[in-house]
Structure 1
Amino acid sequence: MTPFAMYLDGMELECAEKRALASFTRRIVEIAALSRSVAVDPDSTRPLNILSQPAILLDLDGFVLDANAAADSLINNDVRVRQRRLYIRDPEARHKLRIYVDQFDDATRHVTPSVEPIIVPRLDGLPFLLRIWAIESNARWPSRDVRALVTLNALGPRPGPPASLLARTFSLTPSEAKLACIIARGAGPDTAAAELNISRETARNQLKSIFAKTATHRQGELVALLLQV
């Protein structure tokens, strides 16, 4: 077992959070590989857009160096860049971010990993979960000015995987795949039936078939599987 894997186990993270962290780590590996490519300017922040999750780069002084397109689409009155600083409207969340960024003052100091996210309330929706990923001096990307990567997770309903992909993955019929796509969002069969303009009985029969083809038995189990696609 690698030291990193032992570190994760020691933190006793929930399974879902471990999966999220593993997925994020894979994206970081992709970014690192791309940033070393001869086809990419070593000072370019374009590889940041590999991350579909909103992401922002901070420098040694806590100033915003760059944000990817996903982050730009989320920036509003609750979270925004003001005078090159990442500004959070909520005072408590803003204070927690400030405590973390203050650790950047000493460039040689090891920055404590951000295990617990900063919860950022929103005026018009569910909160953001803000996480800070330290980038140590010997591995800074895309330049040595980078000190941390900030990611934002906007809570709320998300579209399910494409129906065509679910159909190919689990050998679903086109109608079953459309139903599975809606179920993957967390909607129940009755809601799916209304969206698809089919009867509840038809939706429930299709759901039984989906359970059989995916070797699942409960809706929560099915959703967890579908979201891996």
Structure 2
Amino acid sequence: MGFLAMNSEISSLRAEEELILANFTRRLMEIAAVSEASGAAASPTAMLNAMHLPAIALDKNGFAVDANAAAQAVFDENIKIKDRRLYIRDFDSRNLLKQAIEQLSGPPRPNALAVEPVVVPRLDKLPVIVRIWPFEGPSHPPAQEVRALLTMNALGPRPGPPAAIIAKTFRLTPSEAKLACIIARGAPPDIAARELKISRETARNQLKSVFAKTNTHRQSELVALLLQVG
């Protein structure tokens, strides 16, 4: 998918979904600010890391002052911290991000996205969506130097819930739980059979048993249920 096509796709996100995400992320940042103001050992990026949301804190000059563990897991040759700045390999995306960061030198805008999300293409991977959140933390260091948070959404398959927890929750056998864990990623039974190195017939039989034990009847129902498991 080309750069312009990806940006068009992102722009077509429903307004309600964008508003929900914005309110959710801003609320987490507010909680982080209150925590720091009260002397708690918390930072905006740490709070977002607890929600498995990759985040980078920037100062007014656009330098990265913090990046949480979830962000570190996203970094590769396409997007990473380089010389204290977020470096993007793709030229167009890099320029869009640069323009957005340049706005940080102006007055804080805590209630809105600074710019549209920046879509970062990656070689042999789905893109990363970078959102920029102007941030005004408490009035004491180090949080006062944070002028914005960047959150990253790396598109692609998500790992399924832990097999051990699935087995315990629904009283599945270890082999059924492993199958369910793969199915939770949205993989069809044939793919699961290949990963588990079992026959398709065995995979289908195990899936029938999983359906019965979880009181579901279709794969979409099963996935929706499994994704509720921590």
Q: Which of the five TM-score ranges fits, normalised by the shorter chain? A: 0.7 to 0.9
Q: 1:11 aligns with which of 15, 40, 48?
A: 15
CA-based RMSD of the aligned residues comes to 3.5
Counterpart in the other structure of 2:165 = 165
C-alpha displacement of 1:122:
1.0
User: Contact between 1:53 and 1:70, CA under 8 Å: does it hold in 2?
Assistant: yes
C-alpha displacement of 1:132:
1.9
Which residue type is aligned with residue 77 of structure 2? N
Q: Matches of 1:71 and 1:218 in 2, distance apart?
A: 35
Specify whether residues 108 and 33 from structure 1 end up closer, same or farther in structure 2 by C-alpha distance, changes over 3 A only. Answer: closer
TM-score by length of 2: 0.74
Q: How does 1:28-107 map to 2 (within 5 A)?
A: 28=29, 31=32, 35=36, 38=39, 40=41, 49-107=49-107
Specify whether residues 213 and 32 from structure 1 end up closer, same or farther in structure 2 by C-alpha distance, changes over 3 A only. Answer: farther
Q: How many matched pairs?
A: 216
Which residue type is aligned with residue 104 of structure 1? L
Q: Matches of 2:111 and 2:79 in 1, distance apart?
A: 23
Specify whether residues 206 and 26 from structure 1 end up closer, same or farther in structure 2 by C-alpha distance, changes over 3 A only. Answer: farther
In structure 2, list runs of 5 or more residues that go unmatched: 1-13
Q: Matches of 2:44 and 2:23 in 1, distance apart?
A: 25
SS at match of 1:13: helix
Paired-residue identity, %: 55
Specify whether residues 44 and 114 from structure 1 end up closer, same or farther in structure 2 by C-alpha distance, changes over 3 A only. Answer: closer
Specify whether residues 214 and 24 from structure 1 end up closer, same or farther in structure 2 by C-alpha distance, changes over 3 A only. Answer: farther
C-alpha displacement of 1:121:
0.4
SS at match of 1:12: helix
Q: Matches of 1:92 and 1:112 in 2, distance apart?
A: 23
SS at match of 2:100: helix
SS at match of 2:198: coil
1:186 aligns with 2:186: yes
Counterpart in the other structure of 1:5 = none
User: Contact between 1:103 and 1:111, CA under 8 Å: does it hold in 2?
Assistant: no
Which residue type is aligned with residue 16 of structure 2? E
Please list the CA deviations of residues 71-96 of structure 1 after superposition, one character each: whole Å capped at 9, or x if unmatched.
23433332123332222121222232
SS at match of 1:144: helix
Specify whether residues 69 and 137 from structure 1 end up closer, same or farther in structure 2 by C-alpha distance, changes over 3 A only. Answer: closer
Q: Matches of 1:160 and 1:108 in 2, distance apart?
A: 39
Q: Matches of 2:193 and 2:99 in 1, distance apart?
A: 49
User: Contact between 1:137 and 1:144, CA under 8 Å: does it hold in 2?
Assistant: yes
In structure 1, list runs of 5 or more residues that go unmatched: 1-9
Counterpart in the other structure of 2:196 = 196
C-alpha displacement of 1:141:
9.0
C-alpha displacement of 1:143:
0.9
User: Contact between 1:163 and 1:174, CA under 8 Å: does it hold in 2?
Assistant: yes
1:226 aligns with 2:230: no
| Larger displacement relative to structure 2 (116-125 or 145-154) | 116-125
User: Contact between 1:57 and 1:150, CA under 8 Å: does it hold in 2?
Assistant: yes
Please list the CA deviations of residues 112-162 of structure 1 after superposition, one character each: whole Å capped at 9, or x if unmatched.
326853210012322112122232356899611111211222222332111
Please list the CA deviations of residues 45-71 of structure 1 after superposition, one character each: whole Å capped at 9, or x if unmatched.
766653533221011222211112332
Specify whether residues 44 and 228 from structure 1 end up closer, same or farther in structure 2 by C-alpha distance, changes over 3 A only. Answer: closer
